[in-house]
Amino acid sequence: MDKNKSDKSNSHRNFWTEMSVDGCGKCEKCNPKYKKDKKCDKDIINYICSILEQQKENLKNTEKILKLLTSSKYGLKEIKEEVSDIEEAVLSPTFGLEEIKTEIAIIEEAILSPTFGLAEIKSEVAAIEEVLLGATFNVGAIAAAVLSPTFGLEEIKTEIAIIEEAILSPTFGLAEIKSEVAAIEEVLLGATFNVGAIAAAVLSPTFGLEEIKTEVAAIEEAVLSATFGLAEIKTEVAAIEEAVLSPTFGLAEIKTEVAVIEEAVLSPTYGLAEIKTEVAAIEAALLSPTFGLAEIKTEVAAIEAAVLSATFGLEEIKTEVAAIEAAVLSATFGLAEIKTEVAAIEAAVLSPTFGLAEIKTEVAAIEAALLSPTFGLEEIKTEIVQILDTLAGGENFTTGAFVVDTTANSVLVNVLNRTAEEVEVTVTRFVFDAAGGIVDTTSDTLTIPADETATTVFSVDASDPDTARVEIQFQGLVDGVYGWVGARTEDENADLAPSTFIPSNIFSNQNLSPLLTP
C-alpha cells in the first residue's frame, strides 16, 4: 500500500475520532430543559460512526480480498487449482467422502453389530465373567464358555482382531480417517470463497461434514464409551486374561481338569469303553431270552394269571383270609377261646399244686437227689466203675440166649489171640427148648497160638421151636483175646469161605456180655 493510501487512512481515523462527542446538550438526556422524545445528536453521531467503522472494516477486507485474488500463491487461479484438487479428492471413488462414509459405515456396523459389536463382546465377556466368578466354579461351564464357538475366547479373539484390524488399518482405520478428515478440514477452513462443488460436497446431508461429524462422533462415543469402549474392552480383556491365566480357574487348571476328565473317560475301569461294555451287558440282559424283558413280561403275565386265578388268585386268597378270619373270631376255636385256654394254662402254670413253683420244688428235690453224696450220680458212677472193674477182671463172656434165623443151619465161632503167648479158650453151645430149659450142651476147647485165630462150628435146627434158641459162652477170654459169633446159612461141615452170614445173628466182641457166676 502507498503513502497516499496510508495518509488517507489516517485522516479517516482522525475524522472518526473527531466525530465522537460526549454530549449534544440539546436533548432530554443531555439537558433536562429540552422536551421529551427529541433525538440525541450523540446517539445519531455514534450510530453513523459505527456504520462508518463497519464500512472501514469492509474496505480493509476488500483490500485483502483483492490482494489475495491477485496473489500467485493464494489467488483465484491457485484457489481454482486447489478447489479442483479438493473436489477430486472429495469426489474420489477411492479416497473421497463417499468412500469414507462407506468405510465409516463398515466400522460403525462392526462396532454396533449385534453379532460382533461392542455390546455383544460385553455380553459375552459378562457371561464368561459370570461363569469364572460364579460361586460354584463349574469347570464344565467354564470350559463350555471359554471353548464355545459362539461366545468363547476364540470367537472373542476373532471379533477383537476384526475390530482392531478395522480401527488400526492404514487404509481404512481411525488414523487414516483422522488424517483424511484433517486434510479436508484444513483445505475447507483455509478457503475464502464458497465454491459450489466444495459447498455441495461439504454441506451435503449425505456425505458432508455434518454427516461425517455425526458418524465420527458416534464412532468416538462408541470407542470412548464407558460401557462398550476400548477402555472397557481392555478392562474386560484383562479380566479374561487374568481368568484364563489364573492358577485356580485358568486354562492350565482347566487343562489339568480336562486331562483328569479325559483320563476318567478313557479309563479301562470306569471309562466310556467300560461303560459301553456294561451297557452292552445290560442290553444283553434286557434282551436275554432267559432273563430279559420278554421273559420278565412272560413271568409277569404268569404272576398276573396267578393273581387273577380262580383257584390261587387274590379272590381265592380273599376267601381263604375270610375263612381264617372266621376261624380266628370263632366262638369255639377263635382268639377268644384261645385266650380262655391260655388263661387256663396260665392258671395251671401258676398253680401252687402243679404249677411252675411246684415243678421247681420237685426239680430241686431231683437235683438234690442227683447230687446226693449217698445216692447221687457221683455215687452211681463210683458203683458202675466198681462193677466195670469187676467185669473187666473176668475171662468168661456170653452172647446171651438168642433165636437163630429160620435160614440159619450153623453157628460159626472165631477167637483171635493178640497176645504174645498161646492161650486156651473153651467155647460152649447151649440149646434151649420152648419152655426155656437146656436140651443140649456142646463144648470145644481151642488152643490158639500168639497172633493167630481158631474157629469152631456148631449145628443148629431153626425149624424146631425146641431147638431154635441158642447161647454161646466163652471161658478164657483174657485181655488181648477176642471172640466173634455169627449164624450162617451153610451147614456145619461147609467150608469157612464163602459163608453167608445172617446180620441179625452176628455178635462181635463188644456185643459179648460178662458172664457172672455165683
Q: What is the pTM of this model?
A: 0.30
At 514, is the pLDDT very low, low, confident or very high (cuts 50, 70, 90)? very high
Segment 378-396, tens digit of pLDDT? 888 877 756 655 555 569 9
Q: Are 412 and 496 in contact (CB under 8 A)?
A: yes
Cβ atoms within 10 Å of 292's Cβ, excluding its own: 15
- Asked if the bond preceding 498 is cis, omega within 30° of 0, the reply is yes
Report the C-alpha gap between 13 and 89 in whole angstroms: 46
Contact 254, 142 (CB under 8 A): yes
Q: What's the pLDDT score for residue 9?
A: 46
Q: Which three cell numbers stand for residue 282?
A: 445290560
Residue 168 has pLDDT above 80, yes or no: yes
SS (H, E, C) 18-79: HHCCCCCCCCCCCCCCCCCCCCCHHHHHHHHHHHHHHHHHHHHHHHHHHHHHHCCCCCHHHH
For residue 15, name the pLDDT band (cuts at 50, 70, 90): very low
DSSP 352: T
Q: Which residues contact residue 479 at a Cβ distance below 8 angstroms, ignoring those fewer than 6 apart?
A: 419
Q: What is the share, in percent, of the chain residues with pLDDT greater than 90?
A: 38
Task: Please name the amino acid found at residue 99.
Answer: E
**Residues 458, 442: contact at Cβ < 8 Å?**
yes
With 0-12 CB in 10 A as exposed, 13-18 as middle and 19+ as buried, what is 25? middle
Mean pLDDT of the chain: 83
Reported in sequence order, the residue ranges of 340-422 that DSSP labels E, i.e. its strands, are 396-398, 402-403, 410-417
DSSP-based three-state secondary structure for 316: helix
Question: Tens of pLDDT along 242-301?
Answer: 888 999 988 889 889 889 988 988 999 989 899 999 899 999 988 999 989 999 999 999
Confidence category of residue 31, pLDDT binned at 50, 70, 90: low
112-141 confidence digits (pLDDT tens)? 888 888 788 888 868 767 766 766 656 676
Which among 26-35, 192-201, 352-361 has the top mean pLDDT? 352-361
Cell of 103: 468405510
Task: Say how many C-beta atoms besides its own lie within 10 A of residue 250's C-beta.
Answer: 18
What's the CA gap between 505 and 490, in Å, rounded? 14
Output the nine-digit C-alpha cell for 98: 463417499
Top-confidence residue, 306 or 137: 306
| 443 phi/psi in degrees, rounded to 5 | -120, 150
> Which strand (E) or helix (H) includes residue 272?
helix 272-287
Q: What is the pLDDT of residues 219-243, one digit of tens each?
A: 788 878 889 887 888 888 788 888 8
pLDDT number for residue 186: 77
Distance in angstroms (rounded) separating the CA atoms of residues 182 and 185? 5
Amino acid at 363: V
The pLDDT, as a whole number, for residue 5 is 47
Beta strands 410-417; 481-488: pairing state? antiparallel
1, amino acid identity: M
Q: Is the pLDDT of residue 337 over 50?
A: yes
Within 8 A by CB and 6+ apart from 169, the residues are 176
Written as one letter, the residue type at 112 is L
Distance CA 456, CA 473 (A): 13
What would the grid cell of residue 298 be?
A: 412272560
- 350: pLDDT confidence band, cut at 50, 70 and 90? very high
Cα(186)–Cα(193) distance, integer angstroms: 14
Question: Shortest CA distance to 426 belongs to which of 441, 408, 405?
Answer: 441
**Which residue stretches of 375-472 are H helix?**
377-392
- C-alpha grid cell, residue 267: 479309563
The set of cell numbers assigned to 127 is 457371561
The CATH number given to 395-514 is 2.60.120
Cβ contact 195:149 at 8 Å: no
- The domain limits of the chain are 252-287, 395-514
